Amino acid sequence: MSGAAPTQGLPALPALSQLDWQDGQLHLEGAALDALAQQHGTPLFVYSKAAMLQALAAYQRGFAGRNAQICYAMKANSSLGVLQVFARAGCGFDIVSGGELARVLAAGGDAAKVIFSGVGKTRAEMAQALDAGIGCFNVESEAELEVLSAVAQAKGQRAPVSIRVNPNVDPKTHPYISTGLKDNKFGVAHERTLATYRRAAALPGLRVVGIDCHIGSQITEPTPYLDAMDRVLDLVDQIEAAGIPIDHIDFGGGLGIDYNGDTPPAADALWAQLLARLDARGYGQRKLMIEPGRSLVGNAGVCLTEVLVLKPGEHKNFCIVDAAMNDLPRPAMYEAFHRIVPLVPKAGAATRYDVVGPICESGDWIGRDRDFDVAPGDRLAVLSAGAYCMSMASNYNTRGRPPELLVDGQKVMLIRERETVADQLRNERLQP
């Protein structure tokens, strides 16, 4: 599934994004993005609700007739207006902090459909999640089991637990976003899994409900999933043979998106293969859970930015825009590629630019060697910006984080206001 075919020489657009060219201008679900940028200022994130629901529908089709729960990995985009879309569509949530739990509840999510992942949960976060009645703790170490059992016992409860196993498969993605290899900090080693389940089953404050794994992110082929599934099912065989029943199996998230012509399998096609494997191994009727993040929101969002100045150089020309690494950290952190397109492309001769932000660091770049015909005041869209952009945005250089709009057919809703300097100074105190 590569990007939509270029229209009349206009730049290619990612699949499943609800973006298209109308009258030579970029539109999202029919909304003219240049007009939204003029009205709300830049930098500005704009999301399509239809694109999120379309991405979710692919998973729902894949799981039709099965006992499956989709838990949106909200770290990808945790804005309340985005969480509401998934809560109303019946999703659960994969959280990694007490703050994320508070967001789920504020957005009307169902605590019983929340799973709590992460290698370092505090006692206070465990207590908060027990009080809220979450569905499952994905525990990542033997030490965490002991602490969680004690916290739950003190409340007269038994915490529902699943153990995250590390299947030691290579997801063939960027090293910073691979998590299932044995040298990663995540999960319990394959060889330790049975012993860890025995310990969990013996602890008075715990109730074993599942098993889980997550091997990495931006995975673009089915093989790592199939390998991880085989390894997890081998473990389920062993654990159940030891007399510990496993109610659900959680296969994590990680499915990639089209950033630059990438061709990940569609969620329904991937799950057709995975379900065939589960059926063949006799686990087809087991309750399934997944934790997709990027593949639900990544191509549903764009970041709009204005060209401030063009700076020609001997070897490089710089196109300096008003968005920066604090708004769009992925290029600086992972050398990630995002398509960048003018909102109203011009037909003139293209110049090659590095698109960079105003922050005082050479690492503050958004795209390298991009060809277009632009002038100061023109606006650009950074595509595939729905996941891991706003949720990782910072205030570096005392820059306020951008506002966010959610487009829903004819409606355009402001779901986050632009952060002001006053917002940023609010928690700081001058010395006496």
User: Which parts of this chain interact with ligand LLP (CB under 6 A)?
Assistant: 73, 76, 94, 117, 177, 179, 214, 217-218, 252-255, 291-295, 330, 334, 388
CB of 71 to ligand LLP, least distance (A): 8
H-helix or E-strand spanning residue 231: helix 223-241
Nearest to 248, CA basis, from 236, 265, 230, 262: 236
State the minimum distance, in angstroms, from the CB of residue 177 to ligand LLP: 5
**Token reading at 381:** 């869209």
Tell the smallest beta-carbon distance from residue 29 to ligand LLP (Å): 23
Nearest to 386 by CA among 3, 122, 18: 18
Smaller CB separation from ligand LLP, 37 or 229: 229
- Say whether 414 sits in a helix, a strand or coil: strand
Least distance CB 248 / ligand LLP (angstroms): 15
C-alpha of 356 from chain center:
24
Asked if the peptide bond before residue 14 counts as cis, ω within 30 degrees of 0, the response is no
Residues in the chain: 432
Extract the tokens encoding 122.
């505090």
Residue with tokens 């730049």: 11
27 or 326: whose CB is closer to ligand LLP? Answer: 326
Q: How far is the CB of 74 from ligand LLP (least distance, A)?
A: 9
Q: How far is the CB of 350 from ligand LLP (least distance, A)?
A: 29
Q: What is the DSSP string of 169-225?
A: ----S-GGGB--STTSSSSEEGGGHHHHHHHHHH-TTEEEEEEE---BSSB-SSHHH
C-beta separation of 48 from 29 below 8 A: yes
Q: Between residues 12 and 333, which has the closer beta carbon with respect to ligand LLP?
A: 333
The sign of the dihedral angle between the CA atoms of 221, 224, 226, 232 is negative
Which CB, 44 or 96, lies closer to ligand LLP?
96
Instruction: Report, in Å, the least distance between residue 96 CB and ligand LLP.
Output: 7
Instruction: State the nearest-atom distance from the C-beta of 428 to ligand LLP, in Å.
Output: 28
> 418-427 in b/e burial notation, b at 16+ Cβ within 10 A?
eeeeeeeeee
Crossing angle of helices 142-154 and 123-132, in 10° steps, is 60
Nearer to ligand LLP, 171 or 403 (CB): 171
Exactly one of 213, 303, 319, 360 is catalytic; which is it?
A: 360
When the beta carbons of 117 and 196 are compared against ligand LLP, the nearer one is 117
Q: Tell me how far apart the alpha carbons of residues 259 and 268 are, in angstroms, rounded to a whole number.
A: 19
- Which C-beta is closer to ligand LLP: that of 100 or that of 306? 100
Closer residue to ligand LLP in complex, CB, 92/253:
253
Which is it for strands 114-116 and 136-139: parallel, antiparallel or unpaired?
parallel
| C-alpha–C-alpha distance, residues 109 and 74, integer Å | 12
- Residue 130's SS3 state is helix
Distance CA 167, CA 25 (A): 46
Distances (CA, A) of 184 to 178, 179, 189, 212, 374: 8, 6, 10, 16, 43
136 is catalytic: no
Q: Write out the catalytic residue numbers.
A: 360
